[in-house]
Amino acid sequence: MSDGAKKNYGRIVKWILIILVAAVAIIIGIRLIINSRHPAKDERPVVRVEMPQRRDISVFTEQIGTVHPSETVNVLAMMSGEILEVSFNAGDKVKKGDKLAVINSDGLKAVEIQVDAARIQLDAAKDNLERMTELYKTGAISQSSFEQVQAAAEGAQLSYDAAKENYDIQKKYSHITAPIDGTVEYKNAEVHKFAQQGSPLAVISGEGKNLVEFGVTEDSVNAIAPGDRVLVQKQGYESTGTITEINRMIGQNGLYSVKADLDLEGDISNNSRVVVTVLKKHADGALSVPITAVYHAGDTAFVYVLDEDNTAKKTEVETGIYDDEYMEIAEGLAETDKVIYTWSKELFNGAEVIVSD
Mean pLDDT in residue range 164-178: 84
Residue 263 is classified by DSSP as S
Whole-structure pTM value: 0.56
- pLDDT tops 70 at residue 49: yes
The span from the CA of 230 to the CA of 245, in Å, is 13
Residues 91-145: tens digit of each pLDDT = 899 999 999 999 887 777 788 888 899 899 989 989 988 888 888 888 888 888 8
- Predicted local distance difference test score (pLDDT) of residue 271: 83
- Predicted local distance difference test score (pLDDT) of residue 270: 80
Among 2.40.50.100, 2.40.30.10, 1.50.10.10, 3.90.226.10, name the CATH number for the domain at 73-204.
2.40.50.100
- Predicted local distance difference test score (pLDDT) of residue 35: 59
Burial bucket for residue 23 (CB in 10 Å: 0-12, 13-18, 19+): exposed
Please say whether the beta carbons of 310 and 27 come within 8 A.
no
- Predicted local distance difference test score (pLDDT) of residue 13: 63
Please say whether the beta carbons of 67 and 262 come within 8 A.
yes
- Predicted local distance difference test score (pLDDT) of residue 168: 83
Q: How far is CA 67 from CA 64, 116, 137, 238, 315, in A?
A: 10, 51, 75, 12, 49
Q: Which CATH architecture has domain 61-70+207-284?
A: Beta Barrel (2.40)
The distance of Cα 74 from the centroid of its chain, to the nearest Å, equals: 26
Give the pairing of strands 200-206 and 182-187.
Answer: antiparallel
Q: State which amino acid sits at residue 284.
A: D
Mean pLDDT in residue range 310-328: 94
User: Which has more confidence, 110 or 11?
Assistant: 110
Q: How far is CA 272 from CA 183, 210, 233, 349, in A?
A: 16, 11, 11, 55
- pLDDT tops 90 at residue 253: no
Helical packing angle, 143-174 and 106-138, nearest 10°: 160
Query: Exposed e or buried b for every residue in 53-63, given b needs 16+ CB within 10 A?
Result: eebebebeeeb
The pLDDT mean for the chain works out to 87
Please say whether the beta carbons of 152 and 125 come within 8 A.
yes
Percent of the chain clearing pLDDT 70 (strictly above): 92
Q: Which CATH architecture has domain 47-55+285-355?
A: Beta Barrel (2.40)
Residues 256-289: tens digit of each pLDDT = 999 999 988 767 788 889 999 999 888 899 999 9
Residues 134-156: tens digit of each pLDDT = 888 888 888 888 889 889 989 99
Q: Quick one: which of 282, 280, 253, 224 has its CA closest to 66?
A: 253
For the chain, domain boundaries: 1-40, 47-55+285-355, 61-70+207-284, 73-204
- pLDDT tops 60 at residue 222: yes
CA angle 60, 66, 208 (to 5 degrees): 105
Using pLDDT thresholds of 50, 70 and 90, give the confidence band for residue 2: low
